Every structure is written in structure tokens, then in C-alpha cells.
Amino acid sequence: MVVQTRRGALVQDRWPDPVAAAEAQLPAGLVLDGEPVVWDIEADALSFGALQPLIDRPPP
């Protein structure tokens, strides 16, 4: 699976858990365009900011 920013930077190595979950549930060859979000339990809402720490850390 390829996950990239709007500027073309590859980020799938920075989000291994969400990418693995998507690979397990989405059909091969699917193309999605949008913004990834996760459920923020504390805010009880969807949040892109909750993914920010994963973006900022170096890849494994």
C-alpha cells in the first residue's frame, strides 16, 4: 500500500498500524483521496491532530 501526502511524500512507514488496518480491510487497487483521521477518545470526535505525533516521529 502506498500512502502519500498531497506533496507526494511517502508516509506509510510512519503510520504502520493504520496502514496495516487499511490493507486488511480495503480491496487491492483502491484509490482514496482524503484526510486520514482517528477517533480521539478524550474529545469524543474525529481528529487529524491525533495522528500528528506519528507524522513527526522518525520512521522505524
What per-residue confidence (pLDDT) applies to 58? 66
pLDDT in tens, 22-48: 899 999 889 888 888 888 899 999 998
Q: Is-above-0.75 flag for pTM?
A: no
- Percent with pLDDT over 90 in the chain: 13
Average pLDDT over residues 46-59: 76
Confidence of residue 55 (pLDDT cuts 50, 70, 90): low
Q: Tell me what pLDDT residue 57 has.
A: 66
Are residues 12 and 52 in contact, defined by beta-carbon separation less than 8 angstroms? Answer: no
